[in-house]
Amino acid sequence: MAPIKGTQSRTGGKLIRGGRTSDVTSEIDGTATEISGRREDNLTTLLTVSGGTKIESGNDRYHVFTTPGTFTTGAQLTAEVLVVASGGSGAGAAYGAGGGAGGVLHAPSTSLEKGRYAVAVGGQGVDGGWYNAGSDGDNSSFADAIAIGGGAGTGYLNGPAVRPGSPLNGTISRRGRAGGSCGGSGVAENGAPVSPDAVTSQPAPSDYTPYGNVGGNGGGGAPAGFAAGGGGGAGAVGSNAGGPTSSVGGNGGNGRAFPGFPAPVIAPAIPAPVRPGWTPVVGPTGIFAGGGGGGNYYQQPGTPSGGTGGGGDGAPGSPETGAAGDGIRFTGSGGGGGNYPNYPLNSHGGKGGDGIVIVKYSVA
């Protein structure tokens, strides 16, 4: 990456160009008691690092981004970085698959030179509406570490309306969309189970590890097996639909734990309306990016579950008992798949959850 003075960082990615070191605005975000007792050689770090919502916990400081922004440091840092893209939406009726979780990039330890680092955060997906495929998630990034948005779930899709621009229609394979994690697949008219696309590669420096998995297969079609697969999660593949004679949707793949980013510490940075639902699913072990559950067929009982870390549940089988669940916002999780088109409440796919970017470093 190109730092403010034009030197090259070893691992962190491209910086926003322009300005000199003196252009970095110092930020004093507390009183003298905040910095009392700190080692003098870390005083510069405390005063010149900004961006996102800042949280201190013990000897660690976190910068949490739930919207795009800039991370600025006036001192070289060794940081832990988590980049989570937004999840794909589940497909709407008929018998929609779950959306794949957004891709995840994690650097347990990366060197950040002085300068300004661009941060992008993938936004919440849109409803996988009636007879529509879901929508792919958006990328998140920290400098040149780019987490890829989750792939959309697909469905039976033999109705008259398909989302404009979608490559899917009533005669083409209902293959789950590729992404950081892939969306689940719907059922094919010819009775053959449909497998999802492969996981998309996520570009990042070598000290980042990418996480993502494929979605589950759709069912085998008539006379039964019209259910859809679950979306892939950062920690596990999505489950296949119940099989050629079963109409139960597949569960979403589980998310992955990142213990350096526990919910009790990060929660104050999450917008208040979302926080009560966000905190328990991320939990003390920092679980993110679960896949969405696939929708059942028609009145098949049961509710396919979304993956741990915030995946939306698939639409339940009994008519009008509930809608497909959205992926929890700011977890990068996929939305659940819809069910039967004649039931407005559970015919739509759930929305994919927004991504998040977090930078952690020591101020001891």
| pLDDT score, position 118 | 98
| pLDDT score, position 340 | 78
In degrees, to the nearest 5, what angle opens at C-alpha 189 toward C-alphas 187 and 195? 40
Closest by Cα among 257, 243, 247 to 286 = 257
| pLDDT score, position 126 | 78
Cα distances (Å, whole numbers) of residue 257 to 120, 146, 154, 281: 22, 19, 27, 11
Please answer whether residues 187 and 241 qualify as being in contact, where contact means their C-beta atoms are separated by less than 8 angstroms: yes
| pLDDT score, position 301 | 81
Please answer whether residues 205 and 62 qualify as being in contact, where contact means their C-beta atoms are separated by less than 8 angstroms: no
| pLDDT score, position 232 | 97
> What is the total count of domains within the chain?
1
Tell whether the torsion through CA atoms of 332, 170, 200 and 225 is positive or negative: positive
| pLDDT score, position 172 | 46
Give Dmax over CA atoms of the chain in angstroms.
Answer: 73
| pLDDT score, position 32 | 25
In degrees, to the nearest 5, what angle opens at C-alpha 308 toward C-alphas 306 and 313? 15
pTM: predicted TM-score of the whole model, two decimal places: 0.84
| pLDDT score, position 128 | 66
- pLDDT tens digits for the chain (364 residues)? 323 323 233 333 344 433 222 222 223 233 222 323 344 445 555 567 999 999 999 999 999 999 999 999 999 999 999 999 999 999 987 788 999 999 999 999 999 999 999 999 999 987 766 666 788 999 999 999 999 999 999 887 543 334 443 444 444 447 788 999 999 988 765 555 566 678 999 999 999 999 999 999 887 666 557 788 999 999 999 999 886 667 889 999 999 999 999 999 999 999 999 999 999 999 999 999 999 999 888 878 888 999 999 999 998 876 666 789 999 999 999 999 988 777 777 788 999 999 999 999 998 8
| pLDDT score, position 8 | 30
Domain limits for position 312: 1-364
| pLDDT score, position 330 | 98
Residue 264 sits at φ, ψ, to 5 deg, of -60, -25
Distance CA(360)–CA(364), nearest Å, equals 12
